[in-house]
């Protein structure tokens, strides 16, 4: 017996062949017609349309009585003939001759998952995630995410970056603050890594350029549409830079490569989501300093307060969004509303879906961020905003031992607590910097989704740790 | 100014060109000769020899007085001319004209790292890991590991596997037992995933074939040379199988592809480790049932006890190795010594560096393992042993809801505690199975290293959570 087919790419060439083929898949949908039926078989991989659905016809004279049709969600091995059928989107269909049922559901699904889009609220979609992911459009989403990772790896590998695996169980938190998960590690306190920061810097001392795509943990107490407690970080770090703008240039090239890859390999999946690939202007992504952004937002708000309030809110802030205290942090960081506003303005002014915001205040950046020698109040750092949302934080790091220990002491930190990290500064580090991209945020902004939970297979938030 | 060169691949074509080039790297070693000096510059990437060391000459008449030589471990931008030099392993060398020092160490290294191999005990090597990794041979090791991951992804992608990212913060332990890390998750108890088992099975219901390369957590209390508390699992799961041997076939093909890739792309790095690529016989990896292995080992031990004791112990058991209780588990699992013995015997008999051991006792396999219908005392499962060490566990899983819940009840488990996992069985799952490979173990066996700590960048064990 020939191996059963699970990939539609193998089928097209068989159209018209008298040889029957056996195809394995899931019964996605049965459409009973007058005297026959369509059986939509869901294959493991999509064809070039982005869909993995294969139209099969069940003609009683060939396949048996309609009462023998397998149940929806059954997994089957269907034997039939591939025939040309111009009315099918693929140009062919399969006429069932026989079906072997491999497994059947024990009951009907509790939710409808075989429509074009899932019609249910987010909580239900996530409660039933193991089966709602079987929806064709959901499948397409995470294939797009796979495409992003593949394109990132191909790009970085060609740019001489080495892939690393750093530990997620750590003894020192890199980002500080209270949003860190603690656990007992054989009687010692350990943490879940908030970022691979220390390790990717360490590995720049080894390989010059490194990257990692791996989970990152933030014990965020906020229940917002932008935060996950476990997310996939695309982290890179590069040595021998002359200025931090080189990291922004690299990210621009990388994103360009990612969108080119998706356009070539996942146009079908993107079309299922009606996703429009973003615009990166030919002369690069526009850059504004943090101070300039603040000033522009102020101007926009005062000049046209009604327009500012009417900005399409693609990332609505839920009720528990931390409230803005105008006396404290508002001058040191951008509020979500400000990020949306500046992105809309940049889009109007330049056509760009992205904007780099540079020179964030030193007070709000971690201790390893390099201050601007011309103005130590700000850092040689940047965020990348994409359609209203921050998807990247990056910047140049301090590489000199005296500078790093001085800045730590300034902040009331004891360098001895970070002895193993500081080993790299002590024994020579090239000038370097890097960035971290949130994979779920990038995917959400690309597809125009308002909640990052939609772009995580099994999201973790303050309320949810299952399924 | 041209961009500085960090990749030796770009240099060869410049040999003999009158144009000076600027190259960035780390001063790996200074060799003072009579009237001049060799400066070995460590570049970010290796050339085809597997080495990233570039021989530069410092001639006082060109570059200045020898007293101006930069310190070892400095990071520099060296400008010079590429000249043919048959005595250099690359066929050329660089004559320094000027050097810009980018950073210098604040003191001499506490350990010698620029010899061919590191001459220190494992604890010292790991205590100073951020700098011992700068050793050229250590760098080669983790490039080989990168090559393994690249080859695995390329192979699985071509075999229609979809890459997934499953959560590591979970509410249910897949493997059971006590070796699970617990943490407080906003007032609820959560665990670190012992494997992506539930999620990869779930995703087989979505994509048919899936894989993931990601961290796995085991709260092992044993301090052995084979265990890490955090390791990188290469996990795959495939649907629509007819028999579990298909998974073994796939693994054989995958390993063949991995070694072919390493031979093509990392022969230089392998040579630095004097690593011999393993033999996989043309007719496949030999298979033995668990029962047959037990019997053979018994026979070997009684027939030739002296020979058995003389087996090269490539994975020595440290003192705290759990002692063997002949009355309990010894009949249900293989002891490390038995794994070594059977591997040596298979090597003698067949030439193979690998052996599949199949049909492990049901009592020692997890609740999701499918029992052999012909003998429910054993499972449709396997381990893969490589040069004396188990590197893979795999097998077919139960896909039927009634079967799975029955087996859980038999074991005193409450299916309601696993409701979200069992959703997949409830609503139709294809027959499926999969495997998990420990990346560090695979790398260690490949390079002939006796301790998996050597093949983890920053290993985690019962005593070590830093650096």
Q: What is the pLDDT of residues B14-60, one digit of tens each?
A: 888 889 999 999 999 999 999 999 999 999 999 888 999 999 999 99
H or E element at residue B138: helix B136-158
**pLDDT tens per residue across span B105-118:** 999 999 999 999 89
Evaluate if residue B328 carries a pLDDT over 80: no
Predicted local distance difference test score (pLDDT) of residue B305: 53
Closest-CA distance, B132 to chain A, in angstroms, reads 9
Q: Do B26 and A457 touch (CB under 8 A)?
A: no
SS3 (DSSP) at B395: strand
Contacts of A431 in chain B (CB under 8 A): 75, 102-103
- State the Cα–Cα distance between residues A366 and B467, nearest whole angstrom: 20
**pLDDT tens per residue across span B60-91:** 999 999 999 999 999 999 999 999 988 888 88
Q: Do A102 and B24 touch (CB under 8 A)?
A: no
What does the pLDDT average to over A12-20? 85
- State the Cα–Cα distance between residues A17 and A39, nearest whole angstrom: 21
Predicted local distance difference test score (pLDDT) of residue B424: 98
Evaluate if residue A384 carries a pLDDT over 60: yes
Residue corresponding to tokens 């996605």? A28
Predicted local distance difference test score (pLDDT) of residue A90: 83
What does the pLDDT average to over B148-152? 98
Contacts of B192 in chain A (CB under 8 A): 169, 183
Q: Do B163 and A185 touch (CB under 8 A)?
A: no
Contacts of A170 in chain B (CB under 8 A): 465-466
Which residue is closest to B102 within chain A, CA to CA? A430
**pLDDT tens per residue across span B236-252:** 999 999 999 999 999 99
Could you say which of A44, A157, A214 has the minimum Cβ distance to residue B207? A44
How many percent of chain A have pLDDT more than 70?
A: 93
Could you say which of B109, B427, B467 has the minimum Cβ distance to residue A109? B427
Which residue is closest to A9 within chain B, CA to CA? B160
The least confident of A420-424, B48-52, B246-250, B427-431 is: B48-52
Q: Where are the alpha helices (DSSP H) in A244-356?
A: 245-265, 267-272, 290-303, 305-309, 336-350
The better pLDDT of the pair B348, A6 is held by: B348
Evaluate if residue B221 carries a pLDDT over 80: yes
Evaluate if residue A425 carries a pLDDT over 80: yes
Predicted local distance difference test score (pLDDT) of residue A6: 73
Q: Which residues pair with A438 in a beta bridge?
A: A233
Q: Do A103 and B131 touch (CB under 8 A)?
A: no
Contacts of A104 in chain B (CB under 8 A): 428
Predicted local distance difference test score (pLDDT) of residue A466: 92
What does the pLDDT average to over B173-178? 71
Predicted local distance difference test score (pLDDT) of residue B309: 43
Evaluate if residue A228 carries a pLDDT over 70: yes
pLDDT class of B177 with cuts at 50, 70, 90: confident
Which residue is closest to A217 within chain B, CA to CA? B169
Could you say which of A103, A458, A460 has the minimum Cβ distance to residue B400? A103
**pLDDT tens per residue across span A143-165:** 999 999 999 999 999 999 999 99
Predicted local distance difference test score (pLDDT) of residue B326: 41
**pLDDT tens per residue across span A37-46:** 999 999 999 9
pLDDT class of A15 with cuts at 50, 70, 90: confident
Predicted local distance difference test score (pLDDT) of residue B320: 44
Predicted local distance difference test score (pLDDT) of residue A318: 42
Beta-carbon contacts below 8 Å between A and B: 277
Predicted local distance difference test score (pLDDT) of residue B331: 84
pLDDT class of A304 with cuts at 50, 70, 90: low
Could you say which of B166, B456, B465 has the minimum Cβ distance to residue A171? B465
Nearest CA-CA partner of B331 in B305, B372, B375, B298 = B298
Closest-CA distance, B282 to chain A, in angstroms, reads 21
Closest-CA distance, B391 to chain A, in angstroms, reads 19
Q: Do A215 and B214 touch (CB under 8 A)?
A: yes
pLDDT class of A252 with cuts at 50, 70, 90: very high
Evaluate if residue A370 carries a pLDDT over 90: yes
Beta strands in B14-58 (DSSP E): 21-32, 37-42, 53-58
Q: Do B162 and A45 touch (CB under 8 A)?
A: yes
The token duo for B376 is 């429910």
Which residue is closest to A205 within chain B, CA to CA? B134
Evaluate if residue A324 carries a pLDDT over 70: no
Predicted local distance difference test score (pLDDT) of residue B329: 57
A24, A72, A130: best to mutate for the B interface, most B CBs within 10 A: A130
Predicted local distance difference test score (pLDDT) of residue A448: 96
Closest-CA distance, B163 to chain A, in angstroms, reads 6
Within a 10 A sphere around the Cβ of A321, how many other Cβ atoms?
16
- State the Cα–Cα distance between residues B307 and B437, nearest whole angstrom: 30
Q: Do B102 and A240 touch (CB under 8 A)?
A: yes
A405, A432 contact by CB (below 8 A): no
Nearest CA-CA partner of A34 in A13, A56, A59 = A59
Predicted local distance difference test score (pLDDT) of residue A136: 97
Predicted local distance difference test score (pLDDT) of residue A4: 74
Closest-CA distance, A373 to chain B, in angstroms, reads 16
What does the pLDDT average to over A72-88? 94
Q: Do B431 and A166 touch (CB under 8 A)?
A: no
Nearest CA-CA partner of A314 in A435, A454, A438 = A454
Q: Do B169 and A24 touch (CB under 8 A)?
A: no
Q: Do A465 and B44 touch (CB under 8 A)?
A: no
What does the pLDDT average to over B335-341? 96
What does the pLDDT average to over A111-126? 95
How many percent of chain B have pLDDT more than 70?
A: 93
Could you say which of A146, A166, A402 has the minimum Cβ distance to residue B458? A166
- State the Cα–Cα distance between residues B149 and B455, nearest whole angstrom: 14
Residue A369 C-alpha from the chain's centroid: 25
The better pLDDT of the pair A310, A61 is held by: A61
R_g of chain B computed on alpha carbons: 26
Average pLDDT, chain A: 92
- State the Cα–Cα distance between residues B187 and B189, nearest whole angstrom: 7
Predicted local distance difference test score (pLDDT) of residue A305: 53
Predicted local distance difference test score (pLDDT) of residue B173: 72
Closest-CA distance, A350 to chain B, in angstroms, reads 29
- State the Cα–Cα distance between residues A214 and A233, nearest whole angstrom: 6
A22, A167, A187: best to mutate for the B interface, most B CBs within 10 A: A167
Q: Do B6 and A160 touch (CB under 8 A)?
A: yes
Residue B435: partners with Cβ closer than 8 Å, 6 or more residues away: B235, B236, B247, B251, B382, B384, B392, B393, B394, B395
Predicted local distance difference test score (pLDDT) of residue B215: 98
């Amino acid at each position: 017996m020939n191996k059963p087919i699970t990939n539609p790419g193998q089928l097209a060439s068989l159209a018209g062949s008298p040889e029957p083929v056996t195809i394995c898949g899931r019964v996605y949908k049965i459409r009973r017609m007058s005297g026959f039926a369509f059986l939509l078989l869901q294959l493991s991989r999509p064809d070039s349309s982005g869909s993995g659905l294969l139209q099969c016809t069940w003609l009683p004279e060939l396949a048996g009585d309609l009462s023998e049709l397998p149940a929806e969600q059954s997994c089957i091995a269907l034997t039939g003939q591939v025939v040309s059928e111009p009315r099918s989107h693929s140009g062919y269909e399969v006429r069932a001759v026989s079906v072997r049922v491999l497994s059947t559901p024990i009951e009907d699904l509790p939710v409808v998952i075989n429509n074009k889009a899932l019609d249910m609220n987010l909580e239900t979609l996530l409660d039933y995630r193991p089966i709602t992911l079987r929806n064709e459009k959901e499948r397409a989403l995470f294939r797009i995410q796979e495409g992003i990772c593949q394109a990132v790896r191909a790009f970085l590998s060609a740019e001489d970056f080495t892939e690393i695996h750093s530990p997620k169980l750590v003894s020192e938190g890199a980002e500080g603050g209270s949003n860190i998960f603690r656990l007992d590690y054989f009687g010692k306190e350990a943490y879940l890594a908030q970022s691979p920061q220390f390790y990717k810097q360490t590995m720049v001392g080894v390989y010059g350029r490194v990257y990692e795509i791996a989970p990152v943990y933030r014990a965020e107490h906020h229940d917002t549409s932008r935060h996950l407690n476990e997310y996939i970080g695309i982290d890179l770090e590069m040595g021998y830079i002359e200025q931090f703008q080189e990291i922004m240039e690299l990210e621009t090239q990388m994103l360009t490569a990612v969108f080119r890859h998706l356009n070539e390999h996942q146009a079908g999946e993107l079309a299922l989501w009606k996703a429009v690939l973003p615009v990166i202007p030919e002369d690069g992504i526009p850059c504004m300093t943090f101070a300039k952004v603040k000033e522009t937002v102020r101007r926009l708000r005062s000049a046209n307060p009604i327009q500012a309030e009417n900005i399409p809110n693609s990332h609505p802030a839920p009720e528990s969004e931390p409230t803005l205290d105008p006396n404290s942090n508002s001058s040191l960081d951008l509020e979500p509303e400000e990020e949306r506003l500046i992105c809309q303005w940049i889009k109007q002014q330049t056509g760009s879906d992205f904007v780099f915001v540079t020179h964030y205040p030193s007070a709000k950046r971690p201790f390893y961020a390099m201050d601007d020698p011309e103005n130590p109040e700000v850092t040689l750092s940047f965020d990348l905003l994409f359609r209203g949302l921050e998807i990247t934080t990056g910047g140049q790091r301090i590489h000199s031992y005296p500078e790093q220990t001085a800045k730590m002491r300034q902040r009331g930190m004891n360098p001895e607590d970070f002895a193993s990290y500081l080993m790299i500064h002590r024994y020579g580090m090239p000038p370097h910097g890097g960035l971290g991209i949130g994979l779920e945020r990038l995917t959400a902004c690309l597809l125009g989704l308002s909640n990052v939970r939609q772009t995580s297979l099994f999201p973790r938030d303050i309320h949810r740790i299952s399924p």
